Amino acid sequence: MTWRDGGCQPLPRDMLILDRDHVRQAGAESAARQAVAFLTRRGGPDGFWIHLDADVFDQTIMQSVDDPRPDGLT
């Protein structure tokens, strides 16, 4: 099992995944710019949806998640 498939159906190879560690390292604004650039690139998707898993937030500000983790995003 790899992180990309998470034990579920395999994710598309061309899917952009910006995980918590990436957002923390790049900064939220930079990560958002990367996502917009990816989605609006020439030959990019005709449409898209954005998923934000609330479990990435720090458990002190988001206590009602299924899988709280310490050191989340604030």
| pTM above threshold 0.85 | no
Tokens matching residue 41: 């690139």
Asked if residues 38 and 32 have their Cβ atoms less than 8 Å apart, the reply is no
Asked if residues 57 and 73 have their Cβ atoms less than 8 Å apart, the reply is yes
Q: How far apart are CA 58 and CA 70, in angstroms?
A: 6
Q: Which residues contact 24 (CB under 8 A, 6 or more apart)?
A: 73
Q: What is the pLDDT of residues 20-35, one digit of tens each?
A: 889 889 999 999 999 9
Q: What is the pLDDT of residues 8-66, one digit of tens each?
A: 777 778 888 888 889 889 999 999 999 999 999 999 888 888 777 777 788 787 777 77
- Give the mean pLDDT of 61-74: 75
In the prediction, which pLDDT does 36 show?
A: 93
What are residue 27's phi and psi, to 5 degrees? 95, 145
